Structure 1
């Protein structure tokens, strides 16, 4: 499709995952890794399908702009969206986990939440909803967006030419997706176990 269209597609997916609270299930981690793989120079020709100099500004700006969009959605429309019940992925357990991170870490939770699927979508939304000041939210949002996108892009860039990775590329992408989802799954299981325990005690 050409590098211009490809990076536009990458920008759109990363932006939507981060900036639209209705789409927390998009595969941001694995997409960044795959983009990094295609940005790595070919071992034989020395050329890359995606120029790294073109890719990096896109993967840096997409999560930052997305966070800003989601923050203001939460700020102005958050209560109405939650009351509507239209965001099925926004379960009470995920909401509670995100709110607990904000309560424990303050604005640092915005940075930490960037590395957890679902939570990275809900974090800016709940930050805006909860009244966290924009001036406190933004620096940690920028830092988290740049660190997260750089980490997964450079993982793909440096490890993409390893023969084992190239031969099992689809499996590597699935493994990245599973590993990135693991903390969220564990958190949900713990929350469900605690809920069941409290129900029995009552």
Structure 2
């Protein structure tokens, strides 16, 4: 139960979690849980629910002068964690991907998400690794799918580095430069929820479009089948008249 409560607290209040680590672990060891959370979220397909964007933003806020963290160290720790996490995910997929998928133990690896990521790889290629960095859940699964055969390691490493640096830089430096504004301090929880909502929005919009497209295709197929049946019935009736 304690581990569950830990994740609940972390998801609901990343700022409070970081503040507690600074006080209990000190200015050096505080970077350990920050590294591990980002590494595990990006490196293991079993933990896509861990906070990414909100944690980076909150750490950026604490990296401002007087916050307890150093912005350069924070940035470097997160970049290394993000790149190594994706690399780990890639090689897990390379070695055990088919077994993990076939086992069905990773419930989050739904056929819908797999199909969506396949579409991303077909449309954007290596840029998928960069794009999905900014999409919760999908950033955990994209390197896994890449490792199952969509991309060679050299190409993956290039886009992995670009995506990791871009993702970390955006959220850490936004938190660093704007986290000290009184409005941000007073409405921190709402802003964090907004960040998560904006991050999830592309995936939600894509899912809605896919669902609408699927319904439209099914409707067109049904209409085509109905027209075919009508044509067949009409043809049979016409033949019957000629036979008489």
Which residue in the other structure is 1:93 paired with? Answer: 112
2:127 and 2:187 map into 1 onto residues whose CA distance is 36
Q: Which moved more, 1:106-115 or 1:20-29?
A: 106-115
Q: Secondary structure at the match of 1:103?
A: helix
Q: Which moved more, 1:156-165 or 1:90-99?
A: 90-99
Of 29, 50, 61, which aligns to 1:26? 50
Gaps of 5+ in 2: 1-23, 223-244
Gaps of 5+ in 1: 42-46
C-alpha RMSD of matched pairs (Å): 1.4
Q: Secondary structure at the match of 1:142?
A: helix
Deviation of 1:56 after TM superposition, in Å, equals 1.6
Aligned length: 197
**In the alignment, does 2:153 pair up with 1:129?**
no
Which residue in the other structure is 1:44 paired with? Answer: none
- Contact 1:75 1:131 (C-alpha < 8 Å) held by counterparts: no
What's the TM-score, normalizing by structure 1?
0.92
Larger Cα-atom Rg: 2
Which residue in the other structure is 1:52 paired with? Answer: 71
Deviation of 1:113 after TM superposition, in Å, equals 1.8
- CA deviations 1:86-122 (Å, max 9, x no partner) are 1111222211111111111211221222111111111
1:177 and 1:133 map into 2 onto residues whose CA distance is 31
**In the alignment, does 2:128 pair up with 1:109?**
yes
- CA deviations 1:99-146 (Å, max 9, x no partner) are 111111211221222111111111110111024110111011011101
Q: By percentage of residues, which structure has more helix?
A: 2
Which residue in the other structure is 2:226 paired with? Answer: none
* Structure with greater contact order relative to length (CA < 8 Å, sep ≥ 6): 1
Which residue in the other structure is 1:5 paired with? Answer: 29
Q: Secondary structure at the match of 2:61?
A: helix
Which residue in the other structure is 1:72 paired with? Answer: 91
Which residue in the other structure is 1:139 paired with? Answer: 158
- Contact 2:120 2:128 (C-alpha < 8 Å) held by counterparts: yes
What's the TM-score, normalizing by structure 2?
0.77
Q: Secondary structure at the match of 1:114?
A: helix
Deviation of 1:49 after TM superposition, in Å, equals 1.3
Deviation of 1:3 after TM superposition, in Å, equals 2.8
